Amino acid sequence: MGRGRQKAKERAAAAERRAKAAAQKVPRITSYPSDYKETESAAFREAQKFRESRSSPINEAKETVKEIVKQVKGSEDLPKVETPNIKNKFENLRYPNQKLEVESDYLQIDVLQFVSTGLGELQDDNTLKVNSITEKLDKKNSLGTIFLPIPNQIQDQNGVNWGADSINGLAAMGLDAANTIMQSNLGDLLPSFLGGVDGMKNKLISTGNGGRNAFNAQIGAAIVNQFGGNTTASGLLARTSGQILNPNMELLFNGVTLRSFNFTFDLAPRDEPESLIIKKIIRVFKKYMAAKTTSANSGNGLFIASPDVFQLTYKKGNTDHPFLHTFKPMALLNASVNYTGSGVYATYRDGTPVHMQLTLSFQELNPIYNEDYGDIESDEEGLGVGF
């Protein structure tokens, strides 16, 4: 009995001590540091960066695409390109994404808004000067600029058309008589005609038997062919006299040609921002080479408007290349993309091909003329080889 009472007293004393402690206990108030919100936001941002870095094997860059494009536009080592507030413009694009130094060689491609030239203008001497699209285009109407590395195997080829032409002695006499008649006044037309015929007859007589034989062969061939024959004056003359008229053949200028250029670029993205820039570059070429159906003159589908055009320039740093040839404004005739540039289909985790080849075919809008070169002896600095 004594031992049981002792334990009961001990339990009662312990309960009393716990009650006193509970009565004296101060309520707990939670406190946070003053900058806990900033610390928590920074932790979330670091976690987001870590997740993005693990989402794609090509996302190794620390800048976002917008930061890279902003850096490209604002970098002092690139030439300043005017981008007015016009429709369909795009931000300047550059591949590869690396700094351009003063000695860097690259190809600058400006996309220019197409401008119709109209028929022409009447000059002071009452002659009609046909407008040229090259004179009407203005880089202030640039829709944007693409910077690409200079491709391999660059070359230019200039050409004009020449062709063989001939005129024999009889034709020359007839042309001379016709000119005499054409240059006469209307009231003197009949005397001029008779005088031209008489002059041609005298020239034929002065050539002797050869001239008369040639004239007879010409008349004879015309008569024979009227009765179903198939012969020529030269054939009859060769049969009767064993000779033909001297054709006086010459190589004469026929006209000008338009130059064409083909370029192939290897595109291999090294990170996610660069892959997005390559995608934009391909879209730009495809978009601006296409005809338009929504222009002011389209007439709800009745017409289609001309695509925009391109101005290509070889550059060294901020200036035009001091040696390589120059271009006139060009149309993009064909753009093809090989998404398996290495011959094997391979992509990154986000689907971007690891190697692509972009092939562009351009043709100049206007021919090259002598006056485009200026003075050869001046040897101006940076003039290069011309067109």
Confidence of residue 255 (pLDDT cuts 50, 70, 90): very high
Whether 105 and 129 have beta carbons less than 8 Å apart is answered as: no
**Dihedral of the alpha carbons of 35, 38, 42, 48, in degrees to the nearest 10:** 140
Whether 359 and 264 have beta carbons less than 8 Å apart is answered as: yes
* pLDDT greater than 50 at residue 343: yes
Q: Which range in 46-55, 191-200, 346-355 is most confidently predicted, on average pLDDT?
A: 346-355
pLDDT, position 62: 43
pLDDT, position 385: 86
- For a pLDDT cut of 90, what percent of the chain falls above it? 31
| Buried b / exposed e along 334-356 (16+ C-beta atoms within 10 A) | ebebbeebeeeeeebeeebbbbb
Whether 259 and 158 have beta carbons less than 8 Å apart is answered as: yes
The one-letter amino acid code at 289 reads: M
Higher-scoring residue by pLDDT: 74, 110: 110
pLDDT, position 136: 74
For residue range 260-274, what is the model confidence (pLDDT) as tens digits?
A: 999 999 999 999 999
* pLDDT greater than 80 at residue 56: no
Specify whether the backbone of 76 is left (phi greater than 0), alpha (psi in -120 to 50) or beta: alpha
* pLDDT greater than 90 at residue 340: yes
- Residues 269, 272: Cα–Cα separation, whole Å: 7
* pLDDT greater than 70 at residue 207: no
For residue range 93-126, what is the model confidence (pLDDT) as tens digits?
A: 999 988 777 788 999 999 998 887 766 666 666 6
pLDDT, position 283: 96
| Helix or strand (DSSP H, E) at 55 | helix 36-55
pLDDT, position 344: 93
pLDDT, position 331: 95
Which is it for strands 160-165 and 120-122: parallel, antiparallel or unpaired? unpaired
Closest-CA residue to 311 (of 76, 117, 75, 81): 81
pLDDT, position 64: 47
